[in-house]
Amino acid sequence: MSEPKDPAAPLADWLRARYGEAIPAVAAQNDTLRSMARHRTMRHYLDRPVDPALVRTLCAVALAAPSKSDLQQADIVIVEDAGQRAALAALLPDNPWARAAPAFLVFCGNNRRQRRVHELRGHGFANDHLDAFFNAAVEAGIVLGTFVAAAESLGLATCPISAIRNHADEVAKVLTLPPHVFPVAGLCVGWPSGFTAMTPRLPLAATIHTDRHDDTALDAHIAEYDARRDAEKPLRARRRDDLFGAHQPYTWSEDKARQYAQPERTGWGAFVRRIGFRLD
Amino acid sequence: MSEPKDPAAPLADWLRARYGEAIPAVAAQNDTLRSMARHRTMRHYLDRPVDPALVRTLCAVALAAPSKSDLQQADIVIVEDAGQRAALAALLPDNPWARAAPAFLVFCGNNRRQRRVHELRGHGFANDHLDAFFNAAVEAGIVLGTFVAAAESLGLATCPISAIRNHADEVAKVLTLPPHVFPVAGLCVGWPSGFTAMTPRLPLAATIHTDRHDDTALDAHIAEYDARRDAEKPLRARRRDDLFGAHQPYTWSEDKARQYAQPERTGWGAFVRRIGFRLD
């Protein structure tokens, strides 16, 4: 089922369009939930600036999101300078929207403040293992997700750019990221130009579990999703037919398997260790 | 400055209370932003159930959040069964609200589906390195943050539980998590009982950067925050005075340095490797 025409359509209609199944109707719903349910990544923007005060306000709203043990381990770099924008855009040739977006931000994990707190208070940091990196990464994700939800609720369009990590050393140099601070994702922000259809998602039986995790029906869920997605929002850009052949239909699972059949970000772990993290 | 009395107070008032500084006023604001700006973790709940259909709806809304490369790598386990709840609560003796909360969920990263897609399509997975784990962890964070924002917009109270990872092997056993699926955080959900004050946050100059990351004023930012926080929401529960002495005032930085001066989750990396991840 395709998405409703009216942005104010009931939440259940948005969720049915997203997941291809009926969700039990609940009385509680509001504009926040409807906006989140309507989420879509948008890569085309009007030639109209986003007020810098609004960007900063959205950052402040996003940084109010939950913080693990109150450690506040996420940073946001707002990239405004044209030279800085160009230096980042040059690292993202496959993401031309990163150059074109009226506003561009980089969400970072920051475990440096915590380590400095230990130095200042004279208590040794006894947790120099995977958890330190993990907590900062997840927190940056929480702040990013909150920013996107906040921005979309105002009608803004966003596009996260994880390719920012494809060249983490260069990005860290451009943004002068110090040790123990790492980029998680860039984010394009602008006012949307044109219509972008909502992307269907896997059936909820694949992602929501009750009491125990159970994915015994995973193959069937993937097949159902491939078919539904191909019917509602077929993938147009094909990857590497030269290498893999012109498989038909060109499904989500075919596309994802082709994407990750080729190495990506193989230097990410080495970068993370180079900036000071132990991942034991 | 303490928080406004009226939940519908202007966004700028909420942000000023949160960060201790004036934020340039913007015309664009709405209930979504105000609710996010008012965020607080709440650990005390009314003895009133949360409609299971509402919990499921909030999960569906949260799973509509941005997904890296559309890989959909987050899962949610809704734990309803009393025996399952008790088994998890027994692992969380320092989090009694995990036992008392009307609803309890576990947010997981799932890199298993992606690997299965490769098997189904016959294209080898060429990215068995840190990035695979990282992407699933960040995505679970995005979904968790979105869930919390959605729930709070309806007046629900939540409390994330990262201590769920203190006993990751046992949690994985209770929830029958398969290889390449890992818990990121638990989440208590209920209708709030009583008032919980908003927690101030670091000044935005510490967490928002323009064009380049710059934390040369970090020590001053921490000192300012320690003082502001002690004035507005002093920390009451002191950690390990027996070990560290009765330092006064008992500031945020003192508390955090004490918390992480003692090892926590040292087995997390070993668990992650044991369930199949390479973190190279």
Residue at A5 is within a domain: no
Residue pLDDT, tens place only, B254-268: 999 999 999 999 999
Residue at B231 is within a domain: no
Looking at beta carbons, which residues of chain A come within 8 Å of B74? 207
Residue A275 to residues A110, A261, B61, B129, B168: CA-CA distances in angstroms? 11, 28, 36, 17, 27
The residue behind tokens 């920013």 is A147
Question: Hey, which residues does B110 pair with through a beta bridge?
Answer: B181
Residue pLDDT, tens place only, B19-51: 999 888 788 889 999 999 999 999 999 999 999
Q: How high is the pLDDT of residue A249?
A: 85
Q: CB distance from A269 to chain B under 8 Å?
A: yes
Residue-range definition of the domain harbouring residue B75: 52-194
Range 100-159 of A in CB contact (< 8 A) with B: 108, 110, 112-114, 116-118, 120-127, 129-131, 134-135, 137-146, 148-150, 153-154, 158
Residue at A44 is within a domain: no
Q: Which of A204, A208, A220 is nearest to A253 (CA)?
A: A220
Residue at A223 is within a domain: no
Count how many domains chain B has: 1
Residue at A263 is within a domain: no
The distance of B280 to chain A (nearest Cα, Å) reads 5
CATH code of residue B162: 3.40.109.10
Cβ(B113)–Cβ(B73) under 8 Å? yes
Helix (H, G, I), strand (E, B) or coil at B97: helix
Distance of CA B211 to the CA centre of its chain: 28
C-alpha–C-alpha distance, residues B139 and A241, integer Å: 29
Q: In chain B, which stretches have pLDDT less than 70?
A: 1
Residue at A179 is within a domain: yes
C-alpha–C-alpha distance, residues A69 and A77, integer Å: 23
Q: Which of A213, A91, A224, A110 is nearest to A161 (CA)?
A: A91
Claim: this prediction has a pTM higher than 0.80? yes
Q: CB distance from A208 to chain B under 8 Å?
A: yes
Range 12-41 of B in CB contact (< 8 A) with A: 15, 18-19, 23-26, 28-33, 35-39, 41
C-alpha–C-alpha distance, residues B67 and B87, integer Å: 31
Residue at A207 is within a domain: no
CB count in 10 Å sphere of residue A239: 17
Q: Which of A143, A144, A125, A158 is nearest to A67 (CA)?
A: A143
The rounded mean pLDDT for chain B is 96
Residue at A112 is within a domain: yes
Region of B28 on the Ramachandran plot (φ > 0 left; ψ -120 to 50 alpha; else beta): beta
**Which of A25, A58, A130 lies at the smallest CB-CB distance from B269?**
A130
Take residue A131 and report the two structure tokens written for it.
């958890």
Please name the residues in contact with B253: beta carbons below 8 A apart, sequence gap of 6 or more: A117, A120, A121, B222, B225, B226
Question: Hey, which residues does B45 pair with through a beta bridge?
Answer: B192
The ipTM estimated for the assembled molecules is: 0.98
